Structure 1
Amino acid sequence: MRKNFKITIITCLLSLIAAPFLTSCSDFFEPEQEHAVNKDDRYKSLFDIQTGVLGAYSKLRNVAEQTIILGDLRADLLQVSENYDADLSELDKVTVTKGNRFVDSRGFYDIIRNCNDMIANMDGVMKKDAAFTEVVRDAHKAEMITLRSWAYLQLIRMYKEVPVTNHELDQVYEGEEIYEMYDRSRMLNWLAERMNWAIQQESLNYSNFEGTLWRKQFVNRKNLLGEIALELGAYGDAVNLFIDTIVNFGGGQNNSDLKCEGFTGDDWEETWSTSTSNYSEKLSYIPFRKSNKQQNDLEMYFSSKGKGKYLLRPTDRVIELWKAQVRKDGSLGDLKRGLGGSFTSSEFDADKKVYIDPEVSKYQFDKKPFESDAQVTIYTASDVHLMLAEALNRNGEHRRALGVVNNNADNVTGIDKSAGIRGRVGLENIDLLKFTGLDKATQLDSMLVIEDVIVRERALELAFQGRRWYDLMRVARRRNDPDFLAKRVAEQLGDEGEALRQRLRNSDNWYLPFDMYANQGN
C-alpha cells in the first residue's frame, strides 16, 4: 500500500524570488551562474534534496504567465486590447515569428535542467545520509520526473518537435550539449513510460508552513498521466486515472474536496483568490506570495488599475457564451463563471449590447490590485472532471460523460453530492437536440455532439487558464479535422477571419517556431 511521506520543512524554502521568464543567456541550455558549483556541495543530505525539490518547483513561476497567454490568446478566449504590443499581436493573429518573446522555451528547460540535476545526484546522497533510503530516494525522484514530464508536455504542445536532454547542470555548463529531437508521438510515449513508474512510488507530503498546502503545489502525478493518456487515445486508462485522482487524492470516497459539488454565494470566485479559501477546487497550483516579493505579470496584462497596462481582454465571443447560458429557473446568464467571476466591466453599452473594456478578473485582481496573492492553477477539480468526461465519451460511455457535465446523475465517481460541472453553478442540463438544433435523436452522432458540449464547457469553465488552444488541437487531431480548430479560432474575427481559417487548416501552422539558440534580451 502506498504511503505519504510527511517531511517537516523548518525554513521558508519557497521564499525564492522568481525571475522573469525571459533570460539573456546566449546558450540555449546554459544554466544560471548560481548553479555552477560543485555538485558535492549541493547535495549532502535529505534536507538538501528537499530544498532542491522546492527550488525546482519555484521555477514554475517563471513560465506561469507565458503558459496562460500562449494557451488562450492564440485561441478564441483572449484578444489584444488597443494597448497591445507587436508580440501580442502576432499571437492574436497566430502569425508568430522567432523573435517573439513568448516563443522562448528556456524557462521550461530551466525546470528540466533542475529536475535532471536532482535525479542524477540522488544516489550519492544515500551514501551520506542514512535517512535518505532507497524508498525515500525513489519518492523524490518520482517528484522530479513528474515536474520534468509536465514541462516536456507543455513543450511538445507548443512546438512540433523539441530537444530532450538528460544532462544535469554541471554537464551542460561544461558544454556537453547532447540531446535528441522528439516528435509528439515519441515524446508522449516516453512520458507515459516514465510517469507509469512515478505513480508507483511513494508520494511526498511536506508539512505545511505559513499556511501553504505543499501537496497541492506539486503537479499531481496520476492526473498528469491521465492527461498524457488522453492525448495518446488510451481512454480507458485515462478514465481510471482521473477517477483515482478525484476520489483518492481529494480525500476519500465521500469527503473529497475535488467532487465539484454545488456553490453558494461567491464560492466559485473565491477558488481563484488564495490557497486558504474556505472552498477550494485546486488540485495543483503555482503560488505567488507578494510578501515574499513574488509577482507575476498577469495583473499588468489584464488590469487597467494601478500599474496595469490592460494589454489583453476577454473576447466578445466568450462573453456572449456566458450570457447565453440558461439557468435552472429559465433565466439567462452564467452568473458565477461569467460577469463577476471570470471577467468584469464597469460599463455596458445598451445599444450595442456589449461590455465596455471588459477585464479578466478570474485572479481577483479587481478587489485588491497588486496586493492579493495571484495563484495560477495547473489543474483544478473541474478541469479533471471535464477531462474525465472527454475520456468517458471516447470510451463509449456517452451517458456517463454527459452526466459529468450536467448533473452527474449517474454518479460516475461514486462520491456523494457530486453535482456535475453545470449543476454546481446553477445552470440547466444540456439537451443534445436543443444544443444541435436537430429534430430527431436518430440524427445525432452522440459521441461527437457530446464532445462538442465538453469542449464548449471547458471554455466556459476554464477560460484564462491557458488550456483552450491545446484543447482545440487535441480534439481536431483526434477527429482528423483541422477545421475544428481553424473555425473556432477564426470566427471571432468575422469576415476578416477567413484567411486565418484557411491558414490554420494546415496543422503545421499550429506550432510555434523553435529556436534552440535564441539570443533574445541581449
Structure 2
Amino acid sequence: MRNKIFKIGGRVLLISCLLLSFSCKKLLDVSPEDAVEAKNNYRNINDANAAVIGIYGQLQTIADRYMVLNELRGDLVSPTINADRYLREISEHNVSADNPWADPKPFYKIIMNCNDALANFKIMLRDAKFRQEEYNQRYADIIAVRAWLYLQVGIHWGNVPYVTDPLASIDDLKDSSKFPKVSFNDLLDKLIASMQGIYLDGYTSTTATGSNSNSLLTTVDGYSTGLMFINKRCLLGDLNLWRGNYTDASTQYRYVTEQGYRNDQGAGNISFWQYKATYSNFNIVYNIGSDEQSLKDDNTDVAGWRSIFGSTAQGTDISAEWIWTMPFDKNFAPTNPFIDLFSNQGGRYLLTASQFAMDKWNSETQANGFPYDARGKLSVRTVNGKPVIMKPLYLYLNGPNFTALNPLQKQGRWLLYRTATLNLHFAEAACRDNYLDVAYALTNAGVIQVFSGIFPTRAVVGTGRNVPTDATNIMITHRPAPYDLDARYGDVPSYRGPWNRQIGTRSRANLNWLPTSLINNAPNAGGDQIGLENAIIQEDAEELAFEGQRWGDLLRVSLHRNDMSFIAEAVYQKLLRDGNPNASTAKAKLLSKDGVYLPFKM
C-alpha cells in the first residue's frame, strides 16, 4: 500500500485554509518537493479532517477545466478572438493530441488522493484513532468527491479506468492490462453502488451540506463552510438520472427539496421555500413593472434573480438557492480562474456567450409582453463594448457600469449546484418516468397551479396567486411517491403544504407558461414526452447557462434517446450562427456515439 499522502504545495488552497481546525502555517511549511509519511499525518480526527479539506481544496484547481469542458463543448459558449487554438479545438470538437484541456490526469490525480485517504482512514479505524461514526462520516465525504470526479471523467471521456486502490504513481494507470477501461454505464453502476453504502445525510437545520461532520461546519471570514461540500443526495440523484433509474433519482431529489420542511421546527418559512423555485425568492422583477429599462439589472438589485450570483450575503436567502458553492478569495490561492476566462477587465477574455445562447433567450416572451427572457440580460452584459458572461464575475465586476474596482482583487465563487439545478433535474427525471404533469409543474407553473383545478389560470409573479378559497385538498394524491407532492393551501382548516409556494423556474423568470398540449393530466398516459423534455432542456439552457451543466444536459438526453443528433444539432447551430466554417465537420463527428467523447490519453 502506498504510504504517502498527497503533496500540498507552499501556496495554500483557500478551502484548506478556511476549514482547517489547526494553523494554516502547518500547510505552508510543506514544500512541493516533500511528501509526508502517512503514519505521521493520520494520527487523529484533526488529521482526517485535514485530508478531507485538502482534497476539497484540490478541486478548486480544476475549476477552469470543469467550466471549459462542460460549457465550451456545448452550445452556449464560444471562444473570443483572444482564445488560443486549444480552446478553439474544444469548441469545434477537433482535439489535438497535445491539447491540455483534454488531459484526464488532473482529475485522476485527485481521485488517487481520494483512494489514499480512504485507505488510511481504514488504518486509522483499525488502530482505534477515531470512532466508527467519525470514520463513516469522513469516508462518506471522500467517496462523494471521488464519485463526482469519476462522473466528470465518464461524461467527457466515456470508457475510462475505474481504480479504487491507492497507487504509487498516476503513471501506473498507463498499464491497461492492470487497469482496463469500463463503459460509462458500468462506471455509473459502480458509482451508484459506492454511494448507496455511505452516510447520505449531513444537514444543518437550515442549509444543506455534503459533509456529515459538525467539526467541518462553521463560518470563517464570512464564508459558510456548509455550502462548500457536495450534497450527497443530489449527487446520487444525478448518478441515477444518468443511468436511467428515474424513480430512484426523483426520490433523492424529492428528499433534498423537502429538507427544510423536515428541519423547520416551527420557524415558519423555511419549510415552504428552501430548495424549491418559489414565488418568494429570486424572481425576475422590475422597479416599475411596465418599463423595460426598470429591469433590476444594476447594482441595486439585492433581491431579484441576479442576486443569486452577485449578492455577498451569506444569509438564508442565498442558502435557499445555493446547495454547493466554493469561494475564491482575493487573499488566497488558487486565483479565481473565471476572471481570465470571461472578463475583459483584469482578465484575458477568452470565452463569451454564443449567438445561439442569445437567440434562445430572445425567443421567449415574458408575462409582461417583453419579447425576451430577461435572464439573458442578467447573464450576459455589454462591458467595454463586448458581451461578457457575468454569472461568475458579479463579485469581481461590481463597480459602476460593472467595472473592477480593484482588478488585482480577484474574488468570486465557483457556482456548482443550486435549487434550479435540483428542480430541473427532478423535472427531467419525472418526465422520463412519464409523470409529465409533475415535470410540467416543477419546470413551469407550480404544483398548486397545475393540480388545483384552476389550471391554466396565471397569476402575476410576486403579487399573489389565483388559488381556490379552500385548497386543502391540493395534493397529487393519485401519484405514487416520490411524485405525491403536497401543495395544500387552505384556511378552513388552516393548512400549508411544503409545495404551496413552488412555481417553477419559468414562472420565477416571469415567462409565459409552456403550452398545455405538452401534458396530459392522467398519470402515465398521453402528452408529448419528447416535446416536454426538449422544453426542460431549453429551460436548463436559459436558467443554468455558464454554470457547468450544459454539456452534461445535452449528452444525457442524447444517450437516453440513443440519438446523438440532439447534441450534434445543438453544437452545429452554435458554430453555424457564429460563422464557424467547421460547423458541419463537428456535427458529423458528434453524430457518432464515440465522437462525443474526448480521446483518453494518460
Please give the TM-score of this superposition, normalised by the length of structure 2.
0.73
Residues in 2 aligned to 1:314 and 1:221: alpha-carbon distance in whole angstroms? 31
Matched, 1:310 2:349: yes
Q: Which letter does structure 1 place at the counterpart of 2:447?
A: A
Q: Please list, as runs of the form range in 1=range in 2, the aligned pairs for 1:287-302 lying within 5 A after superposition.
A: 287-302=327-342
Give the structure 1 partner of residue 537 of structure 2: 455
Matched, 1:257 2:274: yes
Distance 1:423 1:277, change over 3 A: farther
Q: Please list, as runs of the form range in 1=range in 2, the aligned pairs for 1:165-184 lying within 5 A after superposition.
A: 165-168=163-166, 171-172=168-169, 178-184=178-184
Distance 1:228 1:33, change over 3 A: farther
Q: Is the 8 A contact 1:270 1:277 kept in 2?
A: no
Residues in 2 aligned to 1:33 and 1:255: alpha-carbon distance in whole angstroms? 52
- Aligned pair count? 474
Aligned with 2:161: secondary structure? strand
Q: Please list, as runs of the form range in 1=range in 2, the aligned pairs for 1:96-495 lying within 5 A after superposition.
A: 96-126=95-125, 132-168=130-166, 171-172=168-169, 178-200=178-200, 203-205=212-214, 206-208=216-218, 209-248=220-259, 252=264, 254=271, 256-262=273-279, 263=282, 266=301, 267-273=304-310, 276-278=313-315, 279-280=317-318, 281-306=321-346, 308-335=347-374, 337-339=375-377, 341-346=378-383, 357-363=386-392, 364=394, 365-367=396-398, 369=404, 370=407, 371=409, 373-410=411-448, 412=485, 414-431=498-515, 446-494=528-576
Shift of residue 328, structure 1, vs aligned partner? 1.5
Give the structure 2 partner of residue 511 of structure 1: 597
Q: Is the 8 A contact 2:558 2:564 kept in 1?
A: yes
Distance 1:14 1:212, change over 3 A: farther
Residues in 2 aligned to 1:72 and 1:173: alpha-carbon distance in whole angstroms? 27
Residues in 2 aligned to 1:301 and 1:500: alpha-carbon distance in whole angstroms? 23
Residues in 2 aligned to 1:275 and 1:255: alpha-carbon distance in whole angstroms? 24
Query: How far does the alpha carbon of each residue in 1:380-429 deviate from its partner, in whole angstroms, 9 at most, with x for none?
Result: 11001000000001111101101111121348473342221111122221
Query: How far does the alpha carbon of each residue in 1:308-330 deviate from its partner, in whole angstroms, 9 at most, with x for none?
Result: 12111101111122123211122
| Structure 1 gaps, min length 5 | 1-7, 18-31, 348-355, 437-443, 517-522
Q: Is the 8 A contact 2:137 2:213 kept in 1?
A: yes
Residues in 2 aligned to 1:275 and 1:111: alpha-carbon distance in whole angstroms? 30
Q: Which letter does structure 2 place at the counterpart of 1:394?
A: R
Aligned with 1:376: secondary structure? strand
Q: Is the 8 A contact 1:219 1:378 kept in 2?
A: no
Give the structure 1 partner of residue 289 of structure 2: none
Give the structure 2 partner of residue 498 of structure 1: 584
Higher relative contact order (CA 8 A, sep 6+): 1
Distance 1:379 1:125, change over 3 A: same
Residues in 1 aligned to 2:161 and 2:196: alpha-carbon distance in whole angstroms? 22
Shift of residue 200, structure 1, vs aligned partner? 4.9
Q: Which letter does structure 2 place at the counterpart of 1:260?
A: A
Q: Which letter does structure 2 place at the counterpart of 1:361?
A: M
Residues in 2 aligned to 1:151 and 1:68: alpha-carbon distance in whole angstroms? 14
Shift of residue 144, structure 1, vs aligned partner? 0.5
Residues in 1 aligned to 2:422 and 2:504: alpha-carbon distance in whole angstroms? 12
Query: How far does the alpha carbon of each residue in 1:193-231 deviate from its partner, in whole angstroms, 9 at most, with x for none?
Result: 000112457622423122322222111111101001001
Distance 1:174 1:448, change over 3 A: closer
Q: Which letter does structure 1 place at the counterpart of 2:548?
A: G
Distance 1:514 1:16, change over 3 A: farther
Q: Is the 8 A contact 2:250 2:430 kept in 1?
A: yes
Shift of residue 15, structure 1, vs aligned partner? 11
Q: Which letter does structure 1 place at the counterpart of 2:143?
A: I
Give the structure 2 partner of residue 440 of structure 1: none
Residues in 2 aligned to 1:198 and 1:62: alpha-carbon distance in whole angstroms? 26
Residues in 2 aligned to 1:314 and 1:492: alpha-carbon distance in whole angstroms? 10
Aligned with 2:221: secondary structure? coil
Q: Please list, as runs of the form range in 1=range in 2, the aligned pairs for 1:83-94 lying within 5 A after superposition.
A: 83-94=82-93
Distance 1:180 1:503, change over 3 A: closer
Q: Is the 8 A contact 1:13 1:51 kept in 2?
A: no
Q: Is the 8 A contact 1:77 1:314 kept in 2?
A: yes
Q: Which letter does structure 1 place at the counterpart of 2:181?
A: M
Residues in 2 aligned to 1:487 and 1:273: alpha-carbon distance in whole angstroms? 33
Q: Which letter does structure 2 place at the counterpart of 1:483?
A: S
Residues in 1 aligned to 2:101 and 2:358: alpha-carbon distance in whole angstroms? 26
Q: Is the 8 A contact 1:235 1:391 kept in 2?
A: yes
Q: Is the 8 A contact 1:273 1:372 kept in 2?
A: no
Q: Is the 8 A contact 2:75 2:571 kept in 1?
A: yes
Q: Is the 8 A contact 1:504 1:510 kept in 2?
A: yes
Aligned with 1:406: secondary structure? helix
Q: Is the 8 A contact 1:325 1:334 kept in 2?
A: yes
Shift of residue 254, structure 1, vs aligned partner? 1.3
Q: Is the 8 A contact 2:137 2:199 kept in 1?
A: no
Q: Is the 8 A contact 1:198 1:221 kept in 2?
A: no
Q: Which moved more, 1:172-181 or 1:404-413?
A: 172-181
Residues in 2 aligned to 1:236 and 1:217: alpha-carbon distance in whole angstroms? 28
Residues in 1 aligned to 2:228 and 2:338: alpha-carbon distance in whole angstroms? 19
Give the structure 2 partner of residue 75 of structure 1: 74
Q: Is the 8 A contact 2:108 2:170 kept in 1?
A: no
Give the structure 2 partner of residue 4 of structure 1: none
Aligned with 1:421: secondary structure? helix
Aligned with 1:428: secondary structure? coil
Q: Which letter does structure 2 place at the counterpart of 1:357?
A: K
Query: How far does the alpha carbon of each residue in 1:4-53 deviate from its partner, in whole angstroms, 9 at most, with x for none?
Result: xxxx9544669979xxxxxxxxxxxxxx754x322101100001001110
Residues in 1 aligned to 2:259 and 2:89: alpha-carbon distance in whole angstroms? 43
Residues in 1 aligned to 2:313 and 2:255: alpha-carbon distance in whole angstroms? 24
Q: Is the 8 A contact 1:13 1:55 kept in 2?
A: no
Distance 1:193 1:508, change over 3 A: same
Aligned with 2:271: secondary structure? coil
Please give the TM-score of this superposition, normalised by the length of structure 1.
0.84
Larger radius of gyration: 2
Shift of residue 179, structure 1, vs aligned partner? 2.9
Residues in 1 aligned to 2:27 and 2:376: alpha-carbon distance in whole angstroms? 35
Give the structure 1 partner of residue 65 of structure 2: 66
